[in-house]
């Protein structure tokens, strides 16, 4: 079943994931600024509130969740359509695990909005684990891209 899709589709997932990694970094930045806003003294808080960091973190986080799920399954779909199978590898298994982690981290949002500190700390821990895995995925993903490019 090789060559059933245009060759460029092999690179759509990696390009999307690199953009997603950058967007995730921005969400992290906004989350840090939101925490600074919550913990600042009254005078600093007055100035930081203008940045709407918490609201922007929530909005960007929602986009990150959607693109992670769609991009991950899209990558698996292209692999399956091109090869008639998925290659069970650490890259695939970690990617599936990452989709689960981000879903759980996002599901904590209602509790966080109610002020639940345990949910907030779990959200941060899950997302820091996610970012660490994402950086590793970037390396293994580029190895896969290189193999696709050289085997063509």
pLDDT by residue (tens digit) across 106-144? 999 999 999 999 999 999 999 999 999 999 999 999 999
Assigned domain for 18 exists? yes
pLDDT of residue 5 exceeding 90, the answer is: no
Q: How far apart are CA 59 and CA 27, in angstroms?
A: 9
Length of the chain: 152
Confidence class of residue 1 from pLDDT cuts 50, 70 and 90?
Answer: very low
User: What pLDDT is recorded for position 152?
Assistant: 75
How many structural domains is the chain composed of?
A: 1
User: What pLDDT is recorded for position 132?
Assistant: 98
Q: How far apart are CA 94 and CA 91, in angstroms?
A: 5
> pLDDT tens across 50-70, in order?
999 999 999 999 999 999 999
Assigned domain for 81 exists? yes
User: What pLDDT is recorded for position 8?
Assistant: 80
Which DSSP symbol is given to 87?
-
For 88, phi then psi, to 5°, come to -75, 110
Alpha helical stretches, state H, the chain: 12-39, 42-48, 53-83, 90-107, 109-113, 117-151
pLDDT of residue 10 exceeding 90, the answer is: no
User: What pLDDT is recorded for position 3?
Assistant: 52
Assigned domain for 2 exists? no
Question: Average pLDDT, stretch 72-86?
Answer: 93
pLDDT of residue 6 exceeding 70, the answer is: yes
- 114 in helix, strand or coil? coil
Closest by CA to 67, choosing from 118, 125, 16, is: 16
Assigned domain for 3 exists? no
For 20, phi then psi, to 5°, come to -65, -40
Q: What is the CATH number of the domain that holds 63?
A: 1.20.120.1770
Q: Name the average pLDDT for the chain.
A: 94
Assigned domain for 36 exists? yes
Q: pTM for the whole thing?
A: 0.90
* Containing structural domain, residue 125: 8-151
């Amino acid at each position: 079943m090789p060559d059933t899709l245009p060759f460029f589709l092999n690179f759509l997932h990696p390009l999307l994931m690199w953009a997603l990694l950058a967007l995730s970094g921005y969400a992290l930045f906004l989350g840090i600024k939101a925490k600074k806003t919550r913990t600042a003294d009254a005078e600093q808080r007055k100035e930081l509130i203008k940045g709407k960091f918490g609201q922007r973190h929530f909005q960007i986080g929602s986009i990150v969740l959607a693109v992670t799920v769609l991009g991950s399954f899209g990558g698996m779909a292209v692999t399956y359509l091109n090869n008639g199978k998925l290659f069970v590898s650490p890259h695939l298994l970690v990617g599936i695990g990452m989709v689960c982690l981000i879903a759980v981290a996002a599901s904590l949002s209602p509790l966080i909005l109610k002020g639940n500190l345990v949910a907030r700390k779990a959200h941060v821990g899950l997302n820091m684990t996610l970012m660490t895995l994402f950086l590793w995925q970037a390396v293994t993903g580029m190895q896969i891209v290189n193999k696709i490019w050289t085997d063509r």
